Amino acid sequence: MIPPILLLGLGKMGSAMVSGWQERGLSPSFAVDPSRPEQPGPAMTVVADAADIPADFHPAAVVLAVKPQVAGQILSVAARYPQAVILSIMAGKTIRVLQQGCGETAAIVRAMPNTPAAIRQGITVACAGAHVSQPQRALCHALLESVGLVEWVEDESLIDPVTAVSGGGPAYVFLLAELLEAAAIEQGIPQALARKMARQTVSGSGALLAASDVDAAQLRRNVTSPQGTTERALAVLMDEAAWPRAVSQAIAAATARSRELAG
């Protein structure tokens, strides 16, 4: 059973988490979202303003699931519940920045999930602040585990590259499917078939990777026959100026942006 939760922000990630919590038995909880989306379930009441939350509501955790650009507007709400652990899934905002808005002794966990959480296939990496108790850490683990795998790091600075790799990673995979589809169409394959091929190739390869203990590089080699078609394609993609450099630069750029958002 999951204790009462206050969720600030009911976008795609917030909604995915609520769905996972309700599957595990969510106690009566509240979500604050000015857009007043549809009620996500019987255990979660959505209000447009934090002022509408009953005075006798005492959440065990306050989950910050808004864009980092509006953090200043919701930290004062989180600060009203000093007994609660604050679980932030906002990109960039450090534990130190959150403490400045919520109180120096606030129990804060910073985490970065990703969008496969919507189908309980996400991965979240989390870091606990100095004032987080073991029961509070366990609660945050349970909240995050409801939508996928959870890993913890002690070094908070690692959350920035985590954001770049796994947080943004689904977009890179979707881009690959998009580009495969476009390239197939260029070669004369009908659009409907091109889309089906691209999507199933990406999703099937991901499933194979998840089911295998074999290193990704070896799985790649298993597909690559000497002097065959795949080898010819990989010679283009693995050129030093192609994917190796582009992916490295992309992750570096996203990591830098995550650090910029801390301010």
Q: What is the pLDDT of residues 168-180, one digit of tens each?
A: 999 999 999 999 9
User: Residue 35: what pLDDT?
Assistant: 85
Q: What is the pLDDT of residue 263?
A: 67
Quick one: pLDDT at residue 148?
A: 97
Instruction: Give the pLDDT confidence score for residue 159 in this predicted structure.
Output: 97
Check residue 149 and give its pLDDT: 98
CATH superfamily placement of domain 5-158: NAD(P)-binding Rossmann-like Domain (3.40.50.720)
pLDDT at 103: 93
pLDDT in the model for residue 41: 79
Which pairs count as long-range contacts for 156-159, CB under 8 Å and 24+ apart, including other chains?
A: 156/94, 156/95, 156/110, 156/127, 158/125, 158/127, 159/110, 159/111, 159/112, 159/125, 159/127, 159/258
Q: So what's the pLDDT on residue 200?
A: 98
Please state which of the four CATH numbers 1.10.3730.10, 1.10.274.10, 3.30.1360.120, 3.40.1260.10 is assigned to the domain occupying 169-260.
1.10.3730.10
Range(s) within the chain of domains with CATH label 1.10.3730.10: 169-260
Q: Which residues of the chain have pLDDT under 50?
A: none
CA distance 230 to 128: 44
